[in-house]
Each structure stands twice: as C-alpha cells, then as structure tokens.
Amino acid sequence: MADLRVIVLYFAKSAELTGVKEEELVAVPTPISSLELWTLLLQRHPRLRLLQDQVVLAVRQQYVAIGDQVLTLGDGDEEVVDAVSSAS
C-alpha cells in the first residue's frame, strides 16, 4: 500500500464539466480499483456525475472499464478521463 501522484487528463465533455484539461492528484492510494478512482474523481468534480454511463477511463493509454478491476498505477502515470454525451 502506497500513495501516488497521478496526472489526470480530461477530454471533451469531461473537460467542460471539470473546467480543467489536466490536473495532478496527490496521495492516490494504490492498489485502487477503477471504480474507486472514478469515485475519487467524482468527489473532486461532482458535475462529472452528468456523464453517467458514458464515461470512459484509460490508464497508460489503455481503456479500463469502471468496476472492480484493480489498477496498478505507477508514480506520475497519466490517467485519462474522457467522456462523451449520449447522442440525442
């Protein structure tokens, strides 16, 4: 168990909702599941909740589903949060 510094990139609608394109998270616990990480992002940016099921996460340029999957994060990893709204 360790704490890490993680870079989060936001794209498209997620960047609009958070108001930032990139931010640094310090003291991210590891190991962490993708669901826990998403919850952590929602605490920082409650408006991300608007994305609901449309959110897509990627870690080290690999897509990850939001669920129990444990992410092995390295210090300074890029984590990408991107999202699109559903087609209306």
Q: Provide the binding-site residues for another protein, judged by CB under 8 A.
A: 9, 11-13, 16, 54, 56, 58, 61, 63, 80, 82-88
CB of 84 to another protein, least distance (A): 5
CB of 60 to another protein, least distance (A): 9
d(CA 27, CA 8): 13
CB of 55 to another protein, least distance (A): 12
- What is the dihedral sign for C-alpha 67, 79, 53, 48? positive
> Which residue type occupies 59?
V
Q: Closer to another protein at the Cβ: 39 or 85?
A: 85
Q: Closer to another protein at the Cβ: 21 or 44?
A: 21
Task: Tell me the C-alpha to C-alpha distance, in Å, between residue 23 and each of 10, 44, 69.
Answer: 8, 11, 23
